[in-house]
Structure 1
Amino acid sequence: MPFALFELKRAGAYYLGGQAKLGATPRSLSGTGGFFMSKGDLMPLLGRRNKRGCFGLFTALLGLILAAGPVCSAAATPEQTGRGPENRGMRLFTDDLKRTRKIPKQIKRLVVLSGPAVEVTWAMGKGDLIVARSEWATWPPQMKKLPSLGSIIRPNQELIWELKPDVIVADMHFRKSAPFMERMGVPVVFLSAVHVEDIGVLVERMGRLLNKPKRAQELRAFVQKYMNAVKKPLQGLKPQEKPRVFHGSGRQLYFTSSSKYGRRVIDEAGAINIADSLPFYWQQVSPEWLVCEDPDYMVLSPNLAKYSYEVPERKAMSSLWEHAANRPGIRSMRITRDNHLYLLNARLGYGLRSFIGAIYMAKIFHPDLFPDLDPKQIHARFLEKFYGLKLEGSYLYP
C-alpha cells in the first residue's frame, strides 16, 4: 500500500497511511488502513522539516514499516512490564454489551449519545464534562448551549473527533459507528436504559464511569423509594382490575409499541398495554383498530419537534390535546366521553425519569389506591434535589 503523511488541519491531527486525497476528513479516511495521530504525539517523533518542507528520514522509515505489514514481536505484554492501563492513568470498564475498554481514571471530556445517560450524568453533578449533544438532547436546559452533533441516528463524527473526548457514551443506535470512532483512539461504551427496571443498572454503571459511587447510590435510593411506594398498593391486583391502555406517540399519535418497549411503564402503573397483542415491536395502528379495541384509557406522547423538544406550557398542551381528541374516530370513543384521554411528555416514558411517568400513570389509573400520592410534588422534589431546577412547563394534561 502506498504510504503518505497527511495533515488534517480542521481536525488538528495527522493521518498515516495510504489512499488519502486532498480535502480528506476523518470520516472519508475510515477503513483505508491507516491510523490517526494528534499533532502533539507526532511532532516529537518527526523533528524539524527539511528545506522542502518534508519530514525526512523518520517519515520514510515509517512508510517502509507500514508497507511491510504487521510485524511479529516477542516483546513483553503491558501486564508483564507493569505498564498496564492502571499504571498509565487508565482503567478497565465493561459496558452493557460486555465489552471491556480502557478509559481514563479521571474523565475530563465526554460525548454522550444516549439520552438517558445525559440525564444521569447531570444528576451525578458531572454535566460540565459533556462537550456535545444530539439535536434531541436539549434537557437539562444547559445542554442547549453545547454544539449539536446532529441526528441521533447519524451523528457528526468529524465534529466528535475535533472535540477530542476522553470517552463516548452511546446507545444501541450508534453501535455501527463505534469501530470508526475507536480507530481515532476514543473508547466507546454502550450504556442504555429504556425500561424502568433498567434505571438502577444505568445509574450504577454511570457512577463507576464518573467516579461518583455515593451519588449513584443516593440517586438509586430516591428512585427505588418511590417505585416501591407505587408497587406495594398494586400487588395482588387481578387482571380484570387493571385498565386496558393505549400508549401512542409520533406525529400522527398512532404509533405504539409492544411489551419490548412501552409496556414497562404501563406495567409499573398497574395497567395492561393493548399493543401487546400486536405482532411487531413498533408500528402504526389505524383508527379503526383503536375503535375496535376500545381501551379504558389513552395516553399520548406528542412529537415535540415543533417546540424544539422543550417542555410545552399548559396552553400549548391544551392545543395538542384538542388536536389529538379530534383525530378520526377518537372523538366518538368512550375515552373522550369519560375524560380518559391524557397527554404525557415523552421524556417521562423512558430512561431515568420514566419512574416519574409511572407514578403519574398509577395515580391516573388507580386514584383510590393512591389518595396521598402527589406525582407533581415528587417530580418537583426530584428536579430540585438532583438538578437544582424548578418544575416548569406542563408534563401531563389535563
Structure 2
Amino acid sequence: MPILKNVLLALAAAAMAAASAFAAEITDVTGRKVEIELPAKRILLGEARQIHVAAALKGEHVFDTIVGWRDDLIKKDPDSYAGYSERFPAVEKLPRFGYIPSGDFSLEAAIALKPDVLTLNLEAEKAVEEAGFIEKAAAAGIAVVYLDFRVDPAKNSERSIEILGQLFGAETRAKEFIDYRRAQIAIVTDRLANAGAIERPKVFIERSPGITGETACCRTFGPANFGEMVEKAGGHNIGSDVITATFGDLNPEQLVVANPDHVIVTGSNWSAESDLNQFVAVGRGADPTAAREKLRGLMQRPAFASLDAVKAGRLHAVWHQFYGAPYEFVPIQQFAKWFHPDLFADIDPDRTFREFHEKFLPVAYRSGYFVSLSDGGE
C-alpha cells in the first residue's frame, strides 16, 4: 500500500503541474494565431526593451522565465540596463542576441536555449517573413509572437501588454497596467475636452538628433507614436501635415515655414553608438545641466535660428525610449504642461512616473527623463 500511495501522489503532482500550464492560442498583433503552452516556461525577448513591460507584469520575478534577450537595451538605453543589472546582477550573464533584420541574429544559438517563444517587434515582420524565419523556428519548437509598441501604439499597445500578460502568466497584472495607463492619459485628454476650444500650439518633435553624421535636420514623426502624444497633449504636430508614416523627414525650409511654437527633441544615452556625441542624454538618472547644454547646442543649427520657439525659449527634450514602451502617459502629461501650463499647473509627470515605478516596477526610480529651456522648467 505505501508504494501504491506514493505512485498516486506522484501522479497527482504531475497532473497538478500539467494543469498549471495549458495549450492555448494567442492572436498576435498581426492577426496570426499562435499555439503555445501558457504560461510560457522559457521566453526569449526579441527586443530587450520589452523588459519595460515584462517587469511591470512580473516584478521581482521578471527574469525567472527569460532565457535570453536582444542586445538593444545595453546599446540604446544603457541607463535602464544599469538599473536592471544593479537590481538583478545575474542579467549580466543573460545571453544576448542581435537583430533579425540586420542579419546578426543566430537562430542556432537561440535554439540551444530551448525557448518556448520568441517575441518580436512588428517592424521586423518583413525581414522575418522574407527569411522564412517563422517556419525555421517552428521546426525547432519555438513559437514566434509579434508585439508592437512603436508602429501603431494606439492600435497595438494594449493588445501587446495583454499578450505579454498571457506569456508570463500575469493577466491580472496586465489589466491593472492597462487601467493605470488609461487613467493617467485621461487626466489630460478629459481636461482638454472639458476646456472647450483652446489654441493648440504648433509643435515640431525631432527624432534623435545628434547621434551620428552631420547635425542635419529634420527627422520627425507622422500622426502615430510621438506625433500622437503631441496631439493628445493638446498640441498640433506639424509633422502630421506632411508625413503619413510613423517617421519621415521635413526639409529645413518646411520647418522654417511651419514656424513651430515649441520644439521637442528626443534623446537618450547613445554613447555606445554615437560618433558625434551631440545628442541630448535624457533618461534614468540623467544630468539635467549637461542635457540642457546639448539642447542649446542643437538649436544652433541654421534651420532653427529664426523659429519663434527658439526665440521664446520653448525648447524641450524627452526620453527617446518612450516611443517604444507603453509609458506614453508620462510624456503626454509633460507635453500638456509645456503646451498649456496654466491648465495643467497641478500635474506632476515626475511624480506620476515615480508612482508607476513604486506600483509596478522592481527597479528604483531616478528622475531625468525631461529637460526644458522654457520658463516652465522641467
Pairwise same-fold verdict (TM > 0.5): yes
RMSD of the alignment, in Å? 2.7
Mapping 1:154-233, distance limit 5 Å: 154=102, 155-175=105-125, 176=128, 177-194=133-150, 195-196=153-154, 198-233=156-191
Name structure 1 gaps, 5 residues minimum: 1-84
Q: How far apart, in 1, do the equivalents of 2:366 and 2:354 lie?
A: 9
Residue 361 (structure 1) shift: 0.7
- 8 Å CA contact 1:314–1:393 kept in 2: the answer is no
1:288 aligns to what? 253
Superposed displacement of residue 115, structure 1: 5.7
Structure 1 residue 382 corresponds to structure 2 residue 360: no
Aligned partner of 2:296 in structure 1 is 322
Shift of 1:197: 5.9
Quote how far apart the aligned CAs of 1:161 are: 1.7
Out of 303-312 and 224-233, give the one that drifted further: 303-312
Q: Are the structure 2 counterparts of residues 179 and 298 from structure 1 closer, same or farther at C-alpha, using a change threshold of 3 Å? A: farther
Aligned equivalent of 2:229, options 261, 265, 284: 265
Contact kept in structure 2, 1:152 and 1:173, CA below 8 Å: no
Give the partner amino acid of 1:191. L
Separation of aligned partners in 1, 2:349 and 2:217: 24
Residue 302 of structure 1 corresponds to which residue in structure 2? 267
Shift of 1:307: 5.6
Q: Deviations over 1:133-173 (max 9, x none)?
A: 22222445336623321236333323222222111111223
> How far apart are 1:263 and its partner, in Å?
2.0
Q: What does 1:127-166 align with in structure 2 at a 5 Å threshold?
A: 127-128=62-63, 129-138=65-74, 139=80, 141-142=83-84, 145=92, 146-151=94-99, 153-154=101-102, 155-166=105-116
**Matched residue SS, 1:256:** strand
For 2:8, the equivalent position in structure 1 comes to none
Q: Which amino acid aligns with 1:127?
A: V
Alignment pair present for 1:111 and 2:44: yes
Q: Per-residue CA shift, 1:341-398, capped at 9, x if unaligned?
A: 1010111234211121111111111111112111110011111221133332521112
Instruction: Answer 1 or 2: which has greater helix percent.
Output: 2
In 2: Cα distance, 1:386 partner to 1:367 partner: 29
SS of alignment partner, residue 349 of structure 1: helix
Q: Is the 8 A contact 2:225 2:323 kept in 1?
A: no
> How high is the sequence identity, in percent, across the aligned residues?
22
Which of 347, 361, 368 is 1:373 aligned to?
347
Kindly tell me: are residues 211 and 193 of structure 1, through their superposed partners in 2, closer, same or farther at Cα, counting changes over 3 Å? same
* CA–CA separation in structure 1 for the residues paired with 2:368 and 2:68: 27
User: Distance between the aligned counterparts of 2:362 and 2:22, measured in 1?
Assistant: 32
The structural deviation recorded for 1:86 is 8.8
Corresponding residue of 2:11: none
- 1:287-316 Cα deviation digits (max 9, x unpaired): 222111100111111363216796432233
1:369 and 1:240 mapped to 2: Cα distance? 10
> Is contact 2:220-2:250 (8 Å) kept?
yes
What is the 5 A alignment of 1:49-64?
none
Separation of aligned partners in 2, 1:360 and 1:133? 31
Moved more, 324-333 or 231-240: 231-240
CA distance in 2, matches of 1:165, 1:316: 42
Write the letter of the residue equivalent to 1:151. Answer: Y
2:29 aligned to 93, 96, 100, which one?
Answer: 96
Provide the TM-score with structure 1 as the length reference. Answer: 0.71
Q: Distance in 2 between matches of 1:137 and 1:127?
A: 16
In the other structure, the counterpart of 1:57 is: none
Query: Matches of 1:362 and 1:207 in 2, distance apart?
Result: 30
Q: Please state how far the C-alpha of 1:247 moved relative to its aligned partner.
A: 0.9
Match of 2:88 in 1: none
Structure 2 matches for 1:274-285, cutoff 5 A?
274-281=238-245, 282-285=247-250
Q: Larger relative CO (CA 8 A, sep 6+): 1 or 2?
A: 2
Distance 2:352 2:20 in 1: 44
Look up the equivalent residue of 1:351 and give its one-letter code.
Answer: A
* Residue ranges of structure 2 left out of the alignment (5+ in a row): 1-17, 75-79, 86-90, 274-280, 373-378
Count of residue correspondences: 314
Q: Is the 8 A contact 2:223 2:243 kept in 1?
A: no
Q: Partner of 2:278 in structure 1?
A: none
Give the direction of change, closer, same or farther, for the CA distance of 1:366–1:349 in structure 2 (3 Å limit).
Answer: farther
State the TM-score, normalized to the length of structure 2: 0.75
Q: Give the distance between the partners of 1:230 and 1:363, measured in 2 at CA.
A: 9
